[in-house]
């Protein structure tokens, strides 16, 4: 499994630069969905729960970065300024990145984020807890109460991860709305120009050489 994107940079109808980029958001998305399906078959397996939390948060953060990069590319013409701003924004926490999207979104999109903000925080708090695991042992009385299930295990069983899965899906759907809003604004500012036959043939030649067609 390896998702990647081939990027062609044009200037006055000529291909000036070709670059390739890993699209790990799609890879994380696939791994997250696989974990959700596996958890349905074995709801008490905490391993599936860990994958849901890890790959769900990875997918969400990677997709947020892609949307942020897309918006910067569309709104800022200066390449150097765009890179400078991106180098600053990419270091923000996931919560700050979502707050950034909140600030630039219209009122109808903002309202949904208010419902998601705390849920996203809980998801990433658990992700960080797993990444830097250092829970202290808890005293128990197995004679009278039996051996309880540790708290972190309970949070990783499907009865709890269902809500986390829903949070990931709702948050990515919210990002899709942000992206579509950017698409809408971009189309108004820059009407779509259909590539002529010469440019199409150049694109096809590059894709053919790369083995993509």
Distance CA 6, CA 209 (A): 12
pLDDT recorded at residue 4: 57
Distance CA 198, CA 179 (A): 30
Q: What is the phi/psi pair of residue 193, to 5°?
A: -110, 120
Percent of the chain with pLDDT over 90: 45
CA–centroid distance for 187 within its chain: 24
Q: Is the CA virtual torsion 41, 46, 49, 54 positive or negative?
A: negative
Q: What is the phi/psi pair of residue 18, to 5°?
A: -125, 130
Q: Is the pLDDT of residue 33 over 90?
A: yes
Cβ–Cβ < 8 Å for 33, 43 = no
pLDDT in tens, 151-174: 899 999 999 999 999 999 999 999
CA-wise closest residue to 196 among 3, 12, 56: 12
Q: Is the pLDDT of residue 98 over 80?
A: yes
Q: Is the pLDDT of residue 10 over 60?
A: no
Q: Is the pLDDT of residue 52 over 90?
A: yes
Cβ–Cβ < 8 Å for 124, 57 = yes
Residue 17: pLDDT band (50, 70, 90) is: low
Q: What is the pTM of this model?
A: 0.77
pLDDT in tens, 55-71: 999 999 999 999 998 88
Q: At what angle do helices 107-131 and 158-189 cross, to 10 degrees?
A: 140
* Contacts of range 87-90, beta carbons closer than 8 Å, 24 or more positions apart: 90/65
Q: What is the mean pLDDT of the chain?
A: 82
pLDDT recorded at residue 15: 57
Q: Is the pLDDT of residue 5 over 50?
A: yes
CA-wise closest residue to 10 among 198, 174, 199, 185: 199
pLDDT recorded at residue 184: 78
Domain coordinates in residue numbering, the chain? 25-132+149-200
pLDDT recorded at residue 193: 47
């Amino acid at each position: 499994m390896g998702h990647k994107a081939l990027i062609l940079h044009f200037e006055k109808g000529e291909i000036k630069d070709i670059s390739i980029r890993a699209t790990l958001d799609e890879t994380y998305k696939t791994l997250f969905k696989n974990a959700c399906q596996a958890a349905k078959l074995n709801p008490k397996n905490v391993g599936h729960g860990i994958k849901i939390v890890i790959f769900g948060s990875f997918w969400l953060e990677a997709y947020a970065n892609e949307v942020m990069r897309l918006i910067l590319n569309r709104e800022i013409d200066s390449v150097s300024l765009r890179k400078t701003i991106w180098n600053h924004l990419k270091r923000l926490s996931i919560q700050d990145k979502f707050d950034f999207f909140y600030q630039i979104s219209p009122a109808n999109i903002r309202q949904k984020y208010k419902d998601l903000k705390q849920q996203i925080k809980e998801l990433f708090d658990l992700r960080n807890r797993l990444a830097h695991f250092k829970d202290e042992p808890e005293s128990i009385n197995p004679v009278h109460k039996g051996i309880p299930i540790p708290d972190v295990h309970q949070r990783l069983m499907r009865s709890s991860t269902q809500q986390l899965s829903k949070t990931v899906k709702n948050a990515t759907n919210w990002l899709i709305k942000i992206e579509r809003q950017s698409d809408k604004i971009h189309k108004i500012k820059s009407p779509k120009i259909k590539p002529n036959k010469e440019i199409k043939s150049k694109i096809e030649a590059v894709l053919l050489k790369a083995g993509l067609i």
